[in-house]
Amino acid sequence: MKITFDKITDKTERYDLTSVAWFPKELGDLVITGPSWVSVVRHTPETLSLKGECSGRLHGICARCGIEVDECLQFAFEHLVTNQKEEVQDVQEIECPEDDLNTIYLLGPELDIDEVLREQAYLESPVRMLCGEDCRGICPGCGAQLNSESCRCSVDYSDSPFAILGKINNK
């Protein structure tokens, strides 16, 4: 979704997030489960205020063992959007960083909301999903799921009368 900078008025415009097409696929599959919206309002002739909130469930796979995992994903943000160039006009502004609002410097006439949401998603999503902090993953040698099996690397079962059982279990 793109909005035209000049068309925003001082009346708050709110859009509900129904689609998750903006969500980066490599982070997992997002399902919206709670309040998810974006609002925009004119602040000054040169600045807009952009706020938003997203709550959903993120579905992905554990980075260590590969089983499917679900995690809550919830974030809120507030940005200042300006079409002025990124430069400090006077010295005073450097000396008083009064707030830590993120400022988006708009280069064209349109603000791409999806792009803002996407960046937010990268910031807020887990770097890698885990089924648990103590997940032991998969043994690179024998492929054993170390959470439920023990590593077979150091044991040679091939001559054991139970080798056939191992093959059946692995099916």
> Least separation, in Å, of the C-beta of 24 and Zn ion?
22
Q: Is 129 in the site for Zn ion (CB under 5 A)?
A: no
Short-list 98, 103, 112, 102, CA closest to 84? 103
Task: Find the binder of Zn ion among 31, 76, 101, 153 (CB under 5 A).
Answer: 153
Q: Is 151 in the site for Zn ion (CB under 5 A)?
A: yes
> Least separation, in Å, of the C-beta of 166 and Zn ion?
13
Q: Which tokens is 170 given?
A: 């692995």
For Zn ion, the closer of residues 72 and 76 by Cβ is: 72
> Least separation, in Å, of the C-beta of 149 and Zn ion?
9
**Residues 6 or more apart whose Cβ sits within 8 Å of residue 102:** 77, 78, 79, 80
Per the CB < 8 A criterion, the answer to whether 49 and 122 are in contact is no
Q: Is 72 in the site for Zn ion (CB under 5 A)?
A: no
**Residues 6 or more apart whose Cβ sits within 8 Å of residue 123:** 75
Task: Find the binder of Zn ion among 32, 142, 149, 157 (CB under 5 A).
Answer: 142
For Zn ion, the closer of residues 1 and 63 by Cβ is: 63
Task: Find the binder of Zn ion among 43, 114, 135, 145 (CB under 5 A).
Answer: 135
Burial track 44-82 (b if 16+ CB lie within 10 A, e otherwise): eeebbbbebbbebbbebebebbeeebeeebebebebbbb
Q: What is the contact mask toward Zn ion in residues 40 to 69, using x (rule: CB under 5 A)?
A: ----------------------x-xx----
Give me the residues that bind Zn ion (CB under 5 A), please: 62, 64-65, 131, 135, 139, 141-142, 151, 153
